[in-house]
Copies of this chain bind each other. A is one copy, B any other.
Amino acid sequence: MYKTHKIAILGASGYTGAELVRLIATHPKMEVVALSADRKAGMEMSEVFPHLRHLALPTLCKIDEIDFSDVDLCFCALPHATSQRVIKVLPKTLKVVDLSADFRLRDPEEYVKWYGGEHDALECQAEAVYGLTEFYREDIRSARLVAGTGCNAATGQYMLSPLIKAGVIDFDHIILDLKCAVSGAGRSLKENLLHAELSEGYHAYAVGGKHRHLGEFDQEFSKLAGREVRIQFTPHLVPANRGILGTAYVHGNAQEVHDTLVTAYHDEPFVKVLPFGEVPSTKHIRASNFCHVGVVADRIEGRVIVIAALDNLTKGSSGQALQNANLMLGEEETEGLMLAPVFP
């Protein structure tokens, strides 16, 4: 089959890189022409990710070995901070979807606040479009550089953004309790990510407003509300590999909340609002680009629970990136992304 778009993936030896390759493998209009992984340059992708053994893929290389004149779009799946230094020196005409946190925060001071250092590529930041497709679709279509959102940030925004925009919930009482699977932490060698440490155990982390994705919530929710909005956000790590389940506690009218979400996502191919009173499960969106959202009225009048589930590696990261890339390349937004969830 003729492949229209030539794709490079920088940082291909991490989970989001591998997920991009998995998705592009059955994409009818994309062809991977370059894969970088600095420390693993020279290795075959099948050595790093044997599950991709059946694919004919370019050998892993260093970034400066890539001829970007031959590339239509570049996915950047590098670590935070590294990403900005790399993207800064890429050809300025190259379309880029960045999966790191580097270009998510428009205000440089917010970047310093949440990431602890000066931003190194503010000129790129200026042109970056925030990459939550459903809310920035038209901007993304014409963007050169798109900043993929955080996986937790995506989950919370799918649940709350339409509600804040419509003003149907109390902005001062928003609590988001998130349950995240472990692949969100990446392929990093940390003791608490070991199977023996995580399996059969679960716990909260970054409790009390310390998680960096709060920067995105603050930015996007305040913009939508037209005033400062600060939510409470507690992520938890649970013993599963893929999935984020968000449970939001808000004040409002449950039926109105449900109606607002149904309307907001009526024509969306990937965000599915469940019938009123039903709740989603991560097992029903695993390895797919779908997000399921449910709304339940609490027994206490005026209190509403909104629950959403998505796959952090797909809809929360690489699937979202591909969705954006489709738009940037003038393709159908859903191309290559209609894979059904894997269950059981």
Contacts and interface: CB of A to CB of B under 8 A. Distances in A.
Contacts of A269: 54
Contact of A340 (B55, B208, B214, B272): B55
A104 interface: no
A222 interface: no
Nearest to A311: B342
Contacts of A65: none
A287 to B, nearest CB: 5
Contact of A50 (B185, B199, B284): B284
Contacts of A39: none
Contact of A230 (B49, B203, B300): B300
Give the residue among A198, A205, A309 with the most B Cβ atoms within 10 A: A198
A196 B312 CA distance: 13
Given A196-B187, A234-B305, A285 B51 contact: yes
A238 B241 contact: no
Interface in A178-210: 179, 182-183, 185, 187, 189-191, 193-205, 207-210
A265 interface: no
A303 interface: yes
Interface residues of A, number: 88
A299 B296 CA distance: 27
Interface stretch (A66-74, A152-160, A275-283): A275-283
Given A22-B340, A292-B53, A199 B195 contact: yes
B281 A207 contact: no
Interface in A301-315: 303, 305, 307, 309, 313
A344 interface: yes
A241 B339 contact: no
B297 A208 contact: yes
A199 B202 contact: no
